[in-house]
């Protein structure tokens, strides 16, 4: 089955930026929709952004205008550019497919993002 490896997290000050990467084992050719999720302490995992194979994107209202999701099918990698970061964005970020998709059952370790001064 598929493996997902997230990277790029770290500690940043409010207003700073980070770019997260998600390496997907095998080919993403058959994965129509990839997405980023996050889970903050004491809260449920939530959908942050998604991208279709054709490039169409969708964002949670809370991050719209500040986050950008992209994918490189040739490199089997999904990215999340995060700008103007706020402390509320502190969470573990995960990539995955979407419910009903072929890889949704498998989750990686995620990457920790901490926004603090």
Count of CA atoms in the C-beta half-sphere (13 A) of 101 = 18
Q: Is the pLDDT of residue 1 over 90?
A: no
**Alpha-carbon span 61 to 72, nearest angstrom:** 24
**Alpha-carbon span 37 to 81, nearest angstrom:** 13
How high is the mean pLDDT of the chain?
95
Mark residue 61 as left, alpha or beta (left: phi above 0; alpha: psi -120 to 50; beta: remaining): alpha
Per-residue pLDDT reduced to its tens digit, 65-109:
999 999 998 899 999 999 999 999 999 999 999 998 888 888 999
């Amino acid at each position: 089955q598929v493996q997902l490896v997230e990277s790029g997290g770290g500690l940043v000050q409010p207003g700073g930026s980070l770019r997260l990467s998600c390496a997907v084992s095998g080919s993403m050719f058959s994965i129509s929709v990839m997405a980023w999720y996050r889970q903050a302490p004491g809260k449920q995992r939530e959908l942050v952004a998604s991208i279709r194979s054709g490039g169409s994107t969708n964002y949670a209202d809370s991050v719209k205008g500040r986050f950008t999701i992209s994918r490189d099918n040739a490199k089997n990698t999904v990215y999340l550019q995060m700008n103007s970061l706020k402390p509320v964005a502190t969470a573990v970020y995960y990539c995955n497919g979407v419910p009903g998709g072929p890889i949704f059952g498998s989750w990686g370790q995620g990457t920790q993002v901490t926004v603090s001064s």
